């Protein structure tokens, strides 16, 4: 029998705070842990996700970094613009977060959409980018079956944020569906129950439209232009694409390397926390 876990049990012994940053036209929600005198680490979640994607990682990383897990615009409890959200919109938010925190640059750990945004940010703004971790990142593939499945599950949960719909959306992330606990379902269900979520979901699903996606995708030349040291994290059971794609990305980034995590899906930071934390910290701290 699996031991019951919850967001609160993940955070119970972590010194952290939740708050909001005024970032230009956006209000950005965050979970923060770690001393302000440590290097800044931004943790960026995936599509329709939220800062709680990193609740299991804050304790280990806060020993070495000032960690901010944020809600992207159009997600979680951040501002939800009423226009289709493309990568430049998320990049603008990241710039504004750095400015609001008074940092010229940061380390980045981005999962899925968060990895896509991180890679593009690193390519375009090397001066604001330290080491980056690209975790089951998006932005290099346009698989119609994967896009359709993600769009369907997300839209169904937005139209009807019932327990089963939200559970099905979360189970897409995991190699082991039992990792989707009641607490995690309720955490996301509360977000999906917001009155503006149906519109927000349409806006953040813009990247699942093939034409929109193509104009935002990372080309091989884009990846070759990334100057930062980069760790590409992939898993053996990622639903978005095979390990070969992670290897291809790592090979294209001049200072890139690959780490493969077994028995995890799209959320290795949550599903295989200890392994993920060790691999990511070894890289970020160059040890």
pLDDT of residue 255: 98
177/265 Cα distance (integer angstroms): 10
* Nearest alpha-carbon partner for 32 in 5, 71, 78, 6: 71
pLDDT over 70 at 17, yes or no? yes
Model confidence pLDDT, tens digit, residues 125-146 = 999 999 999 999 999 998 888 8
179/267 Cα distance (integer angstroms): 10
Strands 16-23 and 26-33, sheet pairing: antiparallel
CA 138 from centroid of its chain's CA atoms: 10
Q: Pull the structure tokens for residue 151.
A: 């769009």
- The C-alpha torsion from 75 through 173 and 17 to 37, rounded to 10°, is -100
Mean pLDDT, residues 214-230 = 97
150/130 Cα distance (integer angstroms): 31
243/236 Cα distance (integer angstroms): 6
pLDDT over 80 at 163, yes or no? yes
pLDDT of residue 2: 59
pLDDT of residue 3: 67
pLDDT over 90 at 93, yes or no? yes
CB 110 within 8 Å of CB 131: no
Model confidence pLDDT, tens digit, residues 177-203 = 999 999 999 999 999 999 999 999 999
Mean pLDDT, residues 106-114 = 98
pLDDT of residue 145: 86
- Which CA distances in Å does 33 have to 37, 53, 60, 104, 120? 12, 14, 10, 19, 26
| Residues above pLDDT 70, as percent of the chain | 99
Mean pLDDT of all residues belonging to the chain: 95
pLDDT over 70 at 153, yes or no? yes
Output the pTM of the full model: 0.97
Q: How many CB atoms lie within 10 A of CB 133?
A: 29
């Amino acid at each position: 029998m699996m031991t019951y876990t919850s967001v609160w049990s993940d955070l119970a012994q972590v010194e952290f705070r939740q708050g909001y940053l005024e970032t230009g036209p956006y209000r950005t929600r965050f979970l923060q842990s770690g001393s302000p005198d440590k290097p800044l680490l931004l943790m960026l979640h995936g599509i329709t996700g939220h800062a709680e994607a990193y609740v299991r990682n804050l304790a280990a990383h806060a020993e070495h970094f000032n960690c901010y897990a944020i809600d992207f615009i159009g997600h979680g409890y951040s501002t939800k613009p009423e226009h289709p959200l493309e990568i430049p919109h998320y990049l603008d938010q990241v710039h504004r977060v750095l400015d609001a925190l008074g940092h010229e640059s940061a380390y980045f750990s981005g999962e899925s959409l968060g990895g896509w945004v991180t890679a593009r940010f690193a390519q375009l703004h090397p001066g604001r980018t330290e080491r980056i971790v690209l975790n089951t990142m998006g932005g290099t593939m346009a698989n119609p079956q994967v896009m359709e499945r993600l769009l369907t599950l997300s839209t169904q949960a937005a139209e009807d944020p019932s327990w089963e719909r939200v559970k099905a959306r979360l189970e897409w992330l995991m190699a082991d569906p039992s990792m989707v606990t009641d607490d995690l379902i309720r955490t996301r269900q509360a977000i999906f129950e917001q009155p503006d979520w149906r519109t927000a979901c349409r806006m953040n699903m813009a990247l699942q439209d093939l034409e929109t996606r193509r104009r935002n995708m990372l080309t091989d030349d884009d990846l070759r232009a990334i100057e930062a040291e980069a760790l590409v994290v992939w898993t053996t059971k990622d639903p978005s694409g095979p390990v070969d794609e992670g290897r291809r990305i790592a090979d294209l980034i001049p200072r890139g390397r690959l780490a493969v995590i077994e028995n995890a899906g799209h959320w290795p930071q949550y599903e295989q926390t200890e392994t993920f934390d060790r691999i990511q910290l070894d890289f970020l701290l160059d040890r």
